Structure 1
């Protein structure tokens, strides 16, 4: 196996890749100690029995620029194939401000092709490539050098078997006319907004049990400070303070270091220095927010007037449609979306795009009383009324 550690080596390999129809890719990274994922290794494989290589940004250091890879990402003649690409794409977006185009995600494609929800790579390798992946190296420290033979073998398996999986799924999608379904799904993965966390809205990720405006104002300021502090110092947000500590602080509203010292949830390092100063300033800022500027929680679901019988029928319809189309139910519609439809909402993803073809159009007809459902043996059929 070959490991690329210089820009020249990477450029030569990417030039080879540019001559083919696709290239398979994967990454190994660490995120336990940083806000942004630390890229430790990149794996690439050429089509068929072509060469598979490791790209080592750690040992490469200053001698290795990833620009040749980013140039390949911009080459729309070559499909870039990943499995469960979200975290990989987040790394490349933050490292190089680039997304692979065009992109193919075998996890998404597998859900469209009837392999179930969030299907794992090992399952696809076993069912499609009739191979096996040794998972023993999955949770090793990919930042340590030298890499063991087992690590390198595991890393390359992530892209060599992927070639067979990709070719099978791409052919299935072409045969069924569903290629555009996957393209619609992947548009979310190549949207910069997917990977950007605005400190102003970080509070919305914190689960609270109260809608008190004053309380939420303090939560907002504490979440804003935590997000900004974590990003600027590249440390995990939970290393600043965890959600349970944030909620405790919003409840107790400390005004000085002595108050902070009484916290049960706060880490010791957060009771002094920059974090402590930031907490006290955030609490003060939250308490100073005028009532008209309090954060407004999303209560849209609370206000839904759901017809429970209709919601149940929609769930039965979804199950029938997903089985007929061999598509994972959760990929078509979530439980929350079914409740929205049953309450009269029509601005939901389940009623748009390819989902409308599979489920949404008939869901609307069911709501309008134009069709009904009947059980025949072990299956459910749609009947005209």
Structure 2
């Protein structure tokens, strides 16, 4: 494989992307910094097919990333391969308003052919190639220039290894017939809505202090305000105000700006500064949360009842058995909250649709409805249909 020098000009980038546009797939990775900013700062992009690999410097003076972004977001003929690509997708979305498409995420793919829930990249390389990655450059300052040879070598290694691993994972998926399982997962990951920054949704990432509509209305307004303040200043939202402080203000709004100095987590300067004035205006104008936006009541523990909780435990045991039998990650088949909902009587669930139903959902439903039981055969816990057990007892 040909390894290029660091690409720092638009002309070099355009030539590279013209060649890669003819490939079946490209492996992609990014290096970025976001510890001190709201928006992640893209510092390096690595890309490779099976013939060549390169690192691209987005901080190089005068470089235009348009050829690269066009390849990633508009070329439907080239598959884009990532490992745990969520943050990469977010960066590309922030630059273009689009996400890479079509995509293949090797971390998700590993869930379909092994019981690995979230395999890290170093472990992926170790398991498929027997190579141990030098992690020394992983936490360096990628924004500092010039980049060292060690940094560039480490970064390009991420995509050269990935470009070799991807065909092997794809071959295993085809052998197991599980490639179709991932189609929906990859489309879900590539959905731009996952990465859009909707200010009105920001409050959902904060633990609500109560179910009072007025409190939640203030929480929603404050969360949106904090996001906007952080965006405008390009600093992490926590530097404007911590979640706990924001929730406390929603529950116990001060009557006047001077009272902000008494709020834990805010400095005395808030009693008279501009940001404090903006905060007080948000609190005054906040409306109660509409009924159709009220969060659903928690469905933990008690609502299931004792019997329902036992059924949920049996479903989790069934899931553990099935994942061991077919060598697949439990999280890909069903989540705990789904199993609890199934035990509570809900039926409109992903686990009861498509391939999940065929591989696990049908048995889960039969267990809930009393048609499936557990039995021990040759020292191993197995699933068996109730009528088979009954026939066995009768025959005995």
Long gaps (5+) in structure 1: none
Find the counterpart in structure 2 of residue 124 from structure 1.
124
Structure 1 pair 249–238 and aligned structure 2 pair: CA distance change class (3 A): same
Contact 1:18 1:72 in 2 (8 A): no
Structure 1 residue 11 corresponds to structure 2 residue 14: yes
2:323 aligned with 1:325:
no
Q: Distance in 2 between matches of 1:190 and 1:270?
A: 41
> 1:19-51, CA deviations, whole angstroms, 9 ceiling, x for partnerless residues?
22211110001112222211110001121xx22
2:335 matched residue in structure 1: 334
- C-alpha contact (below 8 Å) 1:255/1:284 kept by paired residues: no
**For the residues of structure 2 that align with 1:346 and 1:160, how far apart are their CA atoms?**
45
Aligned pairs for 1:263-278 within 5 A: 263-267=263-267, 272-278=272-278
Listed one character per residue, the Cα deviations across residues 208-256 of structure 1 (whole Å, up to 9, x for unaligned) are 3422333222222211211222234332211211101112222331233
Structure-1 residue corresponding to 2:161: 161
Deviates more, 1:7-16 or 1:66-75: 66-75
Whether contact under 8 Å (1:241, 1:267) holds in the other structure is no
Who is 2:366 aligned against? 365
113-122 vs 97-106, which moves further: 97-106
Alignment of 1:275-290 (within 5 A): 275-286=275-286, 289=287
Corresponding position of 1:172: 172
**CA drift at 1:290:** 5.5
TM-score by length of 2: 0.90
Tell me the SS of whatever aligns to 2:42.
strand
Equivalent pair of 1:214/1:294 in contact (CA under 8 Å): no
- Larger CA deviation: 131-140 vs 367-376: 367-376
Query: 1:336 offset after TM fit, Å?
Result: 1.0
Structure 1, residues 144-182: CA drift from partner, whole Å, max 9, x if none?
101112211110111111122211111000111111112
SS in structure 2 at match of 1:53: strand
In structure 1, the partner of 2:381 is 380
Distance 1:10 1:292, change over 3 A: closer
Whole-angstrom distance in 2 between the partners of 1:208 and 1:75 = 42
Counterpart contact for 2:111–2:328, Cα < 8 Å: yes
Indicate how the Cα distance of structure 1 residues 98 and 208 shifts in structure 2: closer, same or farther if over 3 A, else same: closer
Describe how 1:291-310 pairs up with structure 2 within 5 A: 296-299=294-297, 301=299, 304-305=303-304, 307-310=308-311
Change (3 A) 1:270 1:130: farther
1:35 and 2:35 equivalent? no
Please state how far the C-alpha of 1:278 moved relative to its aligned partner: 2.1
RMSD: 2.1
The corresponding residue for 2:95 is 95
